[in-house]
Structures are given as structure tokens and as C-alpha cells.
Structure 1
């Protein structure tokens, strides 16, 4: 068993004072030595954190003890070390930026647990629709799923016409952890789709609980693992090296900070081209040192996990 855990979670629930909750939650994470990214908004909570097993267990217990988060479900993965270098707990208008005029607490697609999804996905009347960004589904997606060439969920209204002819089908949306589908499925319903479902818990939960069958490639994640295995039943590689074109599911961020493109790159090309996606990027004077992972944490002068924490006694940000 690996010593660390990576927790992925979200919960749509009203938070009356997001700023006060953010301070309290930041302190909780500091006390448990957790690292990661957490978003607090009036509509709920969204986060991915990593820590030692006992610390993660204590964190999950503390969150679930709050009546507002009773329905929250954690996706728990084992890892050899922290999956993050920093801790950020931020207040934002939405827990996933979409600008879609919907409220998942009022209406959303029918939730399918992983096993129900596994049984239904091959129904001839079912269409799978990927709600992730183009660079995410480039390295992995469900077999036969429809994908959109979009950078983020805000662009969904620009692409919904591409599936308008499927309004009478059973449409199942999916994403990494389920959060995007809460709003995406609600939006499809608002646009006249009759039978809308969503994979509850997303790709990660499906892999953990149902073996990941028919998920081709790897799942892109937003931590220093970059992409993770999902399919334990019939795995395959669907992406190709951006440099040489051979099959590869190693995802990297281009070592040029001006580019930072998310691409698949084989290990050989990674080292040969110092983690860059083009020769032009290789000449970037600000080129970041490639260490074989293709993941680069943003640098912050004088960063500590306390950064951004506000004391309850005042309103000025302090660092320790």
C-alpha cells in the first residue's frame, strides 16, 4: 500500500459566507499538512488535495461532519508522494467556471453510478459525450464517445449544435470527476435534450469501482501525475507523440512557459527536445528545466502553505 492519498471531490451546496469558510478550511488543511487546490464559492466546494493516509482520513471525516457536505463523495487514489507542491484555497464565483445559466441544485442529468454506467454505455440508443477540454480527451476518452474541440466548459454553447440531432437519444455526459457534468447535463436539458444522464464521480470513480472498461488511453489530471491509468480491463493507447508520431500516452506541458501546450510526448522525444513541443519553443530564453515529468509548478517568491491565509482578527493577507 502506498503511503499517500490523492482526494478528488466536489459538492454543490450553498455556502453563505465563502470568505469565512475559506479561512477556516485553509487552517484545516494546514493542520493536516495537505497540499492541493481548493475552490470555495457561494454554490459549493471543489478540490483536489494530497497527503499522508492518516491526514487524508482526518480531512475526509472533518469535511463530512459538516451537514452541508453530507452528500459529498471523495474519490481516493493511492500515491507514493504528494501530488502537489503547494496549497491554494481560493474563493471564486463558481466551483467550476462555466458561465452556463443553470443551477445543478434545481435540475441536472440523472446520476449513473459506475456499474450502472458500465451496463448502459453500450446500449445502441446511448450516446456518450465528453465534457472535457480538447487536450484532456486527446490522451484518453471512452470508446465511441463524442468530443468537442473546446478549451473549457464556457465554450459548450458554441458546440451544442454538433449534437442537436441526438436530442431523442439517451445522452450520457462524463468528465474527470463529475463536476463539469452537473452543469453540462443541466445545460443540455435546457436546450431540449430529452434523456440526459451523467457518470456520477466521473472517469476516476469509474476506474476505481468498475475497472475502467472501454476507457481508451489515460485520464488527464490536474496535478503532478499529469495523466493516470484508468482501464484495468481492456487498456489501450490512443494518443501519439506530438514530436515523432509514435503511440504514447505520456502527457507533458511544453517546457516553454510562453507555450505551456499540453501534449502527448514519448520519453525519448521528451529528453531529446528538452520537453518542448516545437523547435521554436526550444529556443525560448525562459525555457524551464525538463526533469522527465513534463509538470511544472508555478513559482511563487517566498511561498509557504500559509500564503493567502487571512487571520480572523484582520483583513490583511499575511504570509508566514
Structure 2
């Protein structure tokens, strides 16, 4: 049995568990990345500096990120020497392995950290237009599907229409929204929401926040105040503070992640709109350069298109068909 047949069978057995959501959602990135990598691995007869330079260019083109790509290429150079590999085709499984290691990070849980002793409070942050409100609605739907009671807090009192947009999602999912008038103090909205969540004894309280970054100092102070109010009422809360990023913006998403950073209390990331972009490599860059786990990815517009992130599924979906493409190129 040839190396590629064995590799294909190995990938096939693993990709049985890969949801069609990941495959479909990463189609645009895969069409760009897989085709170019397969062509490179077939055309180049040996692994040399020119090969590494071209691979580096392809990965950067997929928005994997310059720093991440340089570190990855250095690791591949080391592995090539250590394993005494000289054929480019033999490097593909090692590339997949390295990418999975980067995405797994230090092994943090990708799912939501639930409060075992009462209400789980989840705070959402992120700039306007990244799909924050939509993500909140879809997450509320997920919890409802699990049989949990959910309440939403309209903490974005700054953006025109933000409260109404959240209410539309609340109606669609069948979840109540706690709100005040536009321009109200977001911390006051959170206080009301926590009190109502306690009164109703709900399982999950999901809180929206303003997404403006024009004055970062004010925004961070606002988030700190919201944290204090929630913590005072529910010790240990919020249990998650999720930063929502639009994957389609590529390197801008990475810059937003760095602007918010861990100082704003962010515990995890949500990458939206992966299905509409060929820049899916940004997930790798953000995960590797930020010491924060990716909790969810948005792979479409349907209610169930918000998926828990899984590094192995992501990489296998990204490189689905690569081994076959390399073998087919070699035969031709």
C-alpha cells in the first residue's frame, strides 16, 4: 500500500467524525490553501530553502499570520532534519500535526465553563459589525436545545438599534431580554438582569455590551464596571467573557484581539463568518498569538451553524482531500 493510500485511509477514519458544518464552512479557505499546497508539494522535487519560502508565502496568503508562519516554518525545518525527510509529499502529515498543536495550545477546554452552583453568566464583547448579537442569539438557542433556561441582557445601550436587534433574536429563540432605554448605564442594565435572573432562577444569563473602540479607555472602564456589578451579585461571575471577531477581516481580527486582550477579562474567542472567507488561516494566527482558547466558530447563517471549536476537526476539514490532490498531481 502506497504512502498516500495509507495517509488517505488515516485521514478518512478521522474525518468521519468531522461535521459537514466544518467541511462546508471552510470550503473557501480550503480551495485556496489546499490547491496551492498540493501544487507546491507535487512540483517541488526536494525540500530546500526555495520550497520553504514558497510554503511560507502560501500560508501568509491564507492569513495564518507572519509571526505564526515563521515559527511554523522553523519547526518544520527542525522536523525535516530530525526525521531525515527529503520528499515534500512526506511533509504534509507533519504540517497538519504542527497546526493542530498550535490550535490546541495548552489544552484549555473549548466549551463554555458552566457554573455548577447556580446561574452561569456569559459576557460578550467585541467591536460593532462582527456578528456579536447574532452569536448571542445562536448561543441562546444552543442552550435552549439543551433544555436550559436562558435570559438575555441588552447591555449595548450605545449603538442605535442594538437593543431592538437583541430583542428580535430573543423573540426568534423564545428568550426574554432585560433592557433599559438607549443611553442608559450598561452596568445598571446588568444589575437589573442579574436580579431578574436570580428571581427566575435561570440557568444562563447572556449579556451583550457596547462595541465601540473609538475611546478604548472608556470602553475598558465600562467593561470593568460591568464586571464589578456582576461579581458583586454573583461571586465568580462572569464565568466567561467571550470576544467575538470577524474571521473575514483577517489580520484586523488579530489586531482587535490584541486591543481587547486579557486586560479586559476575556476568557475565550468566537470567530464568526468563516464560511464567507478564504482567510480561515486567521484562526490559527489568533489562537497561536493570543493565550486564549477559541470557544466557538461561526460556519454559516443557520441557527445551528455556531459550532464548538475543535482543533482536530478544523485541521482535517481544512486539509480534506490534500493527500488525494497530491497523489493525483503526481500521477498526472
TM-score tier by shorter-chain length is under 0.3
Structure with higher strand content = 1
For normalisation by structure 1, the TM-score amounts to 0.26
Q: Relative contact order (alpha carbons < 8 A, sep ≥ 6): 1 or 2 greater?
A: 2
Largest Rg, 1 or 2: 2
